[in-house]
Every structure is written in C-alpha cells, then in structure tokens.
Amino acid sequence: MASLKALKIRINSVKSTQKITKAMKMVAAAKLRRATEAAEASRPYAERLEAVVSSIASKVTVGPQSPKLLAGSGNSDVHLFVVATSDKGLAGAFNTNIVRLARRQAEALKAEGKTVKFYTIGKKGRDQLSRTFRGDIIHSIEPGDLGKLTYADVQAWGEDLTARFEAGEFDVAHLFFSKFENVLTQTPTQIQLMPVAVAAGEGDAMGVSATVEYEPDEEEILADLLPRNVAVQLLRANRENAASEQGSKMTAMDNATRNAGDMINKLTIQYNRTRQAAITTELIEIIAGAEAL
C-alpha cells in the first residue's frame, strides 16, 4: 500500500488539476457565449446571400460562358476536402469527429477511383490527416483563435480556393466543419462549397418575381456574388466551429472536473484507511509492549 506521504502528494496533485479544469470550463463557458453570438450575427448575411444567389442562379441557363463556380468543370474526378478544425486540443472529440467524417468520405471516394486532396484549416486537422493522407494535403492554414477570426481573414482563403478552382486543381470542393446544435451536441457536417449547389425551383419560392430589374445583368451579378458566397460559407463554417469548439471544451472540462472530484474522494478514503491502519498498528504495538512488562 502506498505510503501516507505519497497519497497526500497524489491528492494535492489531483486537486490542482481539478482547479485548472474548472477554470478552463469557466473560460470556455464565457467564450461560448461570445462565439454563439458571433455565429448568430453572421447568419442574416449568409441567408440573404444564399437566397439571392439561388434565385438568380435558377434563372440563368448554364452554358459554357457561365461562371465556373456555377457550372463546374464538367468532371468530378478530383475532389478537394476543405477540413476546418481548430489549432488547439483539449476540446473532447471536437477535432477528431470532423476528421473522422472527412476520412470516411475520402475513403469512400477513393474506393470509387476518384482523387481526393485536402486543404486543412487548423493544426489539429492537419496533424490527424497527415497520418493517413500525408501526400494529399495541398495547403494548410493555421487560423489561431477561431473566436477572433474576421471576414477579411476568411476572404483571403476564399480567394485562394477560388483561384485554385479556376486553375483546375480540383473539380468539386467540399467543406467539413462541426455544426453547433447546443452545448452537448455538435454534429460534424459536410457541405458542397464549389461549384455552388443550387436548389432547383427555389427562386420562385423566395417571392422574387420575373419583373426584377438587374443592374448589370444576371450573369455579371452572379460572377460578382459567387466568390463572395465561398468566403461567406467559410466564415459561417468557422463561426460554427468556434462555437462547437467551446461547447465541446466546456463539456470535456466539466467531465474532467467531475472525474477529478471522484478521484479525490477515492484517494481520501484510501488515505484515511491507511492512516487508521497505521494508528491501529501503533496502538497494538504499545499495548503489546505494556502487556509484556
């Protein structure tokens, strides 16, 4: 059995761990509130833009002169997976869940004989993916604190991705991120980033009648809006990720704090037993000594 001193040291070390995890939980809770607010604040723009894009896109007939972001390259051989994760761990299975979904989809596509390339956002995603797909990662970004990400940052990534798409580096791009449902649930999600997926017939449902005047014409507006749509989707994904990360971190740290509490209880009981056993032994020794006289 461990000595009293060793137990005491052990208890103290678990106690300080508990203090740290408790503090991290509080920090995550505060950041979570800010992150969800930011995610909600960016929603109106994304919704409006999506409505406008799909209403115009449903009117334009896709032809060779259409923007590539709408029409696509005509093939679907090379897929690009934009995997958005965070730079830091200690957030439960947050990063792993996103990577797992991406890996499963990648393996399914590879089994069909397609090529899959990766474009990673976040250190954790890059590290985990490079174990199996080292040669397929074409670019990786380290976004730093997801909560502080601005539209300007994301815009640069969007431009880079659009340029690569125009250059024909890939035919289809998918975006992977974790959708924030609530503190307990974050769902890894996949959406198609390029070419733009247009829900057919949605234009009329938006109440946009045929009498809308376009300045300049539909095609030019579309060419202007589509690259912007890419950036907005990226921003949305990262905002959702920021909220998910903090939610996941909060749950993980809450569990860790509770585990530490359980461990302290167990160790304290063990400590007391050992102490009592030592006292009993001492008493027996004294009594035995007295009787011997």
Amino acid type, 44: P
Pick the stretch among 7-15, 168-176, 225-233, 265-273 that binds other proteins (CB under 8 A): 225-233
Sign of CA dihedral 34, 40, 45, 50: positive
Q: Give the residue with the Cβ less far from other proteins, 183 or 222.
A: 222
CB of 66 to other proteins, least distance (A): 17
Q: Give the residue with the Cβ less far from other proteins, 70 or 253.
A: 70
Amino acid type, 80: L
Distances (CA, A) of 219 to 53, 54, 70, 211, 274: 11, 13, 10, 16, 81
Which of 11, 27, 29, 49 binds other proteins (CB under 8 A)? It is: 49
- Secondary structure, 3-state, 45-109: HHHHHHHHHHHHHCCCCCCCCCCHHHHCCCCCCEEEEEEECCCCCCECEHHHHHHHHHHHHHHHH
59 binds other proteins (CB under 8 A): no
CB of 143 to other proteins, least distance (A): 16
Please state at what angle helix 218-292 crosses helix 43-57, rounded to 10 degrees: 140
Q: How far apart are CA 21 and CA 3, in angstroms?
A: 27
80 binds other proteins (CB under 8 A): no
Q: Are 224 and 69 within 8 A, CB to CB?
A: no
For residues 203-222, which are near other proteins according to CB under 8 A? 207-209, 211-216, 220-221
224 binds other proteins (CB under 8 A): yes
x/- string (CB under 8 A) for other proteins, residues 252-271? --------------------
Which of 24, 56, 175, 250 binds other proteins (CB under 8 A)? It is: 56
Pick the stretch among 41-49, 107-115, 197-205, 262-270 that binds other proteins (CB under 8 A): 41-49
- Distance from chain centroid for Cα 195: 23
DSSP-derived letter for residue 197 is P
Q: Give the residue with the Cβ less far from other proteins, 22 or 34.
A: 34
CB of 186 to other proteins, least distance (A): 22
For residues 97-156, which are near other proteins according to CB under 8 A? 150-151, 155
Q: Give the residue with the Cβ less far from other proteins, 212 or 284.
A: 212
Q: How far apart are CA 6 and CA 280, in angstroms?
A: 20
Which of 28, 102, 230, 232 binds other proteins (CB under 8 A)? It is: 232
State the residues that interact with other proteins by CB under 8 A: 38, 41-42, 44-46, 48-49, 52, 56, 150-151, 155, 207-209, 211-216, 220-221, 224-225, 228, 231-232, 235
